[in-house]
């Protein structure tokens, strides 16, 4: 993969997975709250990661009992940072882009024998 394509794909991934992704990169992940902390999780990968605190108002209508239930269901899921998929993507070897003649200051009309 060349560096230009790598940058474009990385930008697309960051936009698509704004709140991070699980290792299987499942879309439309569910979330739960524990207090004001919001967690995305994946049942298939058995992982969870925190996406912020007090960012979504739904936690205000919950209580300690709901938060205990959430931790009972998902507390044993492995905690990840949600950006592991980017580190794996960034590990893909990238080929440097070959600059065109005009980009390196050469004029194709110049006779190279002079």
Residue 2 lies inside a defined structural domain of this protein: no
Which phi and psi (to 5°) does residue 49 adopt? -150, 145
112: confidence class by pLDDT, cuts 50, 70, 90: low
Question: Alpha carbon 61 to chain centroid distance?
Answer: 29
Q: Is the pLDDT of residue 101 over 60?
A: no
Residue 38 lies inside a defined structural domain of this protein: yes
Residue 51 belongs to domain spanning: 21-82
How many domains is the chain built from?
Answer: 1
> How far from 57 is each of 38, 52, 99, 102, CA to CA, in Å?
10, 12, 50, 54
Residue 14 lies inside a defined structural domain of this protein: no
Residue 62 lies inside a defined structural domain of this protein: yes
% of the chain surpassing 70 pLDDT: 84
Helix H or strand E segment including 6? helix 3-16
Residue 5 lies inside a defined structural domain of this protein: no
Q: Is the pLDDT of residue 108 over 60?
A: no
Residue 27 lies inside a defined structural domain of this protein: yes
pLDDT at 105: 56
Q: What is the mean pLDDT of residues 21-27?
A: 87
Residue 95 lies inside a defined structural domain of this protein: no
> Are the C-beta atoms of 77 and 46 separated by less than 8 Å?
yes
Per-residue pLDDT tens digits for 49-78: 999 999 999 999 999 999 999 999 999 999
How far apart are alpha carbons 34 and 51 in whole angstroms?
12
Residue 46 lies inside a defined structural domain of this protein: yes
How much is the pTM? 0.73
42: confidence class by pLDDT, cuts 50, 70, 90: very high
Reduced to 3 states, what is the DSSP secondary structure of residue 91? Answer: coil
| Strands of the 47-53 sheet, one edge to the other | 31-34, 37-42, 47-53, 78-79
């Amino acid at each position: 993969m060349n560096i230009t394509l790598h940058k474009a794909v990385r930008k697309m991934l960051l936009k698509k997975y704004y709140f991070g992704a699980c290792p299987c990169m499942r879309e439309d992940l569910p979330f739960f709250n524990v207090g004001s902390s919001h967690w995305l999780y994946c049942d298939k990968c058995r992982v969870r990661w925190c996406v912020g605190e007090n960012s979504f108002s739904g936690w205000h209508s919950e209580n300690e009992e709901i938060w205990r239930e959430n931790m009972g269901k998902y507390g044993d899921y492995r905690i990840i940072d949600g950006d592991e998929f980017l580190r794996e993507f960034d590990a893909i070897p990238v080929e440097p882009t070959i600059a065109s003649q005009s980009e390196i200051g050469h004029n194709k009309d110049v006779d190279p024998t002079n």
